[in-house]
Amino acid sequence: MPATVSLIRLDGYDDDAAVLAALRQALAPFGGMGGIVRPGQKVLLKPNLVAPSHPDLAVTTHPAILRAVIRLVKEAGATALVGDGPGVGDTRSAAKGSGLLDVIKAEGALLADFNDTEVYENQDNRIARRLHLTSHLRQADVLITLPKLKTHVQMAYTGALKNQFGLIPGSAKGQFHFRLQNRDHLADLMIDINRLAQPALAIMDAVVAMEGPGPSGGTPRHLGALVVGTDLTAVDTVCCAMIGLSTKDVPIALAAQRAGFGVVDLDDITIVGGNLDDFRKGDFVLVKAPGNIMRILPLPGSMLRWLRRELTPRPEINPDRCIHCRRCEHGCPVRPPAILPLAEPGRQVNDRTCIRCYCCHEFCPVKAIDLKRSRLERLFHLNAIANAGARLVGKLVSWWDFRRWLRSRAKPHDNSE
Ligand code: SF4
Ligand code: SF4
């Protein structure tokens, strides 16, 4: 079924009235906020609150966007609850450091930490039929997700669908990183979570996005857009088009396609409000997600693990920037942690146990973790070879399918019955 996505120009965060007006305009095709929430309902707002980062760093959803959303929720006669489950640290510190706590207090909303969980079940899920998600999800009548458009060193892109990973409380997310070391499986899990959580609406903060090594270590990049829709997959598709990223290179978009969850094809999306071409940034700095060598090479596990180490960049602590807060160590899902910032230089990252999930890179508050390509990768461009191999296999499979289709067309019809 075709989807509708609002794409509205919003050039900055400073003018509250302008932010509110842009949000009203973006919501108009969906009947305004009143078309999403009803009077008396409790609305759970889920911003991206990955770390206590200053709003100017473009790591978290900007407070001005949250303020406008809370105001419209209240105007619709509902109450707003704001929460997230950051991977390291607590929700309150992250909300305070990112400027969201001041807005929550000033607007009379409530802050929710996601420590208490309940079991949610869906038999159609691919990875996890039962998941422990925040209990606030069940207590709320409506979930509205407020993602930030960013690149992501592991998943290529993070936006509307990925934002629901935060419904899994803090450190429990690390267990999934450890268990699901294949990005495609992790992407399938994101779709499972969205199936369970059923967000009613996504309001994407794409006013200032993040390019380069996101979701925490990249650089802010002005896009000047609010992207809003009830089909989260379609919202992500439009955002990917804005930054010149093919959804074929985004594991979560591919997972959505596999699961038939939302609209991935841009041709099936009606964009209202603005013209997509006016928002495209052809020079947006993307993350080249490593090719999934697992899919194309029938090699023993030990060899595949070695190849993954060689194909994917290695985290390295920059001693000049490190403030020894140990967030990387506490956020590492490997036990014992594969990163020890207080160890002597050269022994800080255990290359044998590191699973290249880049949680450390995401949680570092001062961008002190660099991602270094391996010597082999630098010499032989193994990653490019793997990507080329994956593309070649894809083409061979398509050609094979095409030949089979041709043969089936050439066969005479069997009318013997
Ligand atoms: S060191 Fe970093 S990339 Fe390696 S497993 Fe730990 S958190 Fe993941
Ligand atoms: S690398 Fe970053 S997260 Fe780790 S201790 Fe240093 S400053 Fe903290």
User: Which pLDDT band, with edges at 50, 70 and 90, does 290 fall under?
Assistant: low
Whole-number percent of the chain with pLDDT over 90: 69
349 lines ligand 2 (CB under 6 A): no
Does residue 143 contact residue 104 with C-beta atoms inside 8 Å? Answer: no
Of the two residues 410 and 128, the one the predictor is more confident about is 128
Of the two residues 331 and 141, the one the predictor is more confident about is 141
Q: Domain total for the chain?
A: 2
User: Which pLDDT band, with edges at 50, 70 and 90, does 312 fall under?
Assistant: confident
Same domain, yes or no, for 146 and 195? yes
354 lines ligand 1 (CB under 6 A): yes
Domain CATH code at residue 56: 3.40.50
Residues 203-223, mean pLDDT to the nearest whole number: 96
Which residues span the domain enclosing 368? 290-417
Mean pLDDT of the chain: 89
User: Which pLDDT band, with edges at 50, 70 and 90, does 269 fall under?
Assistant: very high
User: Which pLDDT band, with edges at 50, 70 and 90, does 416 fall under?
Assistant: very low
Residues 60-85, mean pLDDT to the nearest whole number: 97
Ligand closest to the CA atom of residue 339: 1
Least confident range of 49-53, 144-148, 268-272: 49-53
C-alpha to C-alpha distance for 286 and 342, rounded to whole angstroms: 32
The ipTM (two decimal places) reads 0.99
C-alpha to C-alpha distance for 25 and 11, rounded to whole angstroms: 14
User: Which pLDDT band, with edges at 50, 70 and 90, does 373 fall under?
Assistant: confident
Ligand 2 center from residue 368 Cα (angstroms) = 6
Give the list of residues 6+ apart from residue 36 with CB closer than 8 angstroms, or none.
27, 30, 76, 142, 144, 200, 201, 230
Strand extents, DSSP E, 288-403: 314-317, 369-372
Domain CATH code at residue 342: 3.30.70.20
Q: Ligand 1, atom 8: nearest CA belongs to which residue? A: 357
3-state secondary structure of 414: coil
Ligand 1 center from residue 387 Cα (angstroms) = 23
Give pLDDT, residue 417: 29
Give pLDDT, residue 207: 98
Residue 287 has pLDDT above 50, yes or no: yes
Same domain, yes or no, for 96 and 227? yes
Question: Which H or E run contains 376?
Answer: helix 375-380
- Flag whether 269 is in a domain: yes
Residue 300 has pLDDT above 80, yes or no: no
326 lines ligand 2 (CB under 6 A): yes
- Flag whether 285 is in a domain: no
Of 236, 252, 279, which marks where a domain is finished?
279
Q: Ligand 1, atom 7: nearest CA belongs to which residue? A: 332
- C-alpha neighbours within 13 Å on the C-beta side of residue 318: 13
C-alpha to C-alpha distance for 103 and 127, rounded to whole angstroms: 37
Of 279, 307, 338, which marks where a domain is finished?
279
Ligand 1 center from residue 338 Cα (angstroms) = 6
DSSP code string of 122-137 = -TT-SS-SEEEEETHH
Q: What is the pLDDT of residues 129-153, one digit of tens each?
A: 899 999 999 999 999 999 999 999 9
338 lines ligand 1 (CB under 6 A): yes
Ligand 1 center from residue 280 Cα (angstroms) = 33
- Flag whether 104 is in a domain: yes
Same domain, yes or no, for 158 and 305? no
Same domain, yes or no, for 169 and 231? yes
User: Which pLDDT band, with edges at 50, 70 and 90, does 412 fall under?
Assistant: very low
- Flag whether 199 is in a domain: yes
Burial 42-63 (b: 16+ CB within 10 A, else e): bbbbbbbbbbbbebebbbbbbb
Residue 48 has pLDDT above 70, yes or no: yes
Of the two residues 127 and 79, the one the predictor is more confident about is 79
C-alpha to C-alpha distance for 274 and 278, rounded to whole angstroms: 8
Ligand 1 center from residue 359 Cα (angstroms) = 6
Give pLDDT, residue 379: 63
Residues 98-121, mean pLDDT to the nearest whole number: 95
Whole-number percent of the chain with pLDDT over 70: 86
Q: Relative to the CA of 355, which ligand 1 atom is closest?
A: 5
CA angle 156, 247, 316 (to 5 degrees): 10
Q: Ligand 2, atom 2: nearest CA belongs to which residue? A: 364
Of 252, 279, 306, which marks where a domain is finished?
279
Ligand closest to the CA atom of residue 371: 1
Same domain, yes or no, for 234 and 362? no
Same domain, yes or no, for 14 and 133? yes
Ligand 1 center from residue 124 Cα (angstroms) = 31
User: Which pLDDT band, with edges at 50, 70 and 90, does 413 fall under?
Assistant: very low
Same domain, yes or no, for 23 and 144? yes
Residue 347 has pLDDT above 90, yes or no: yes
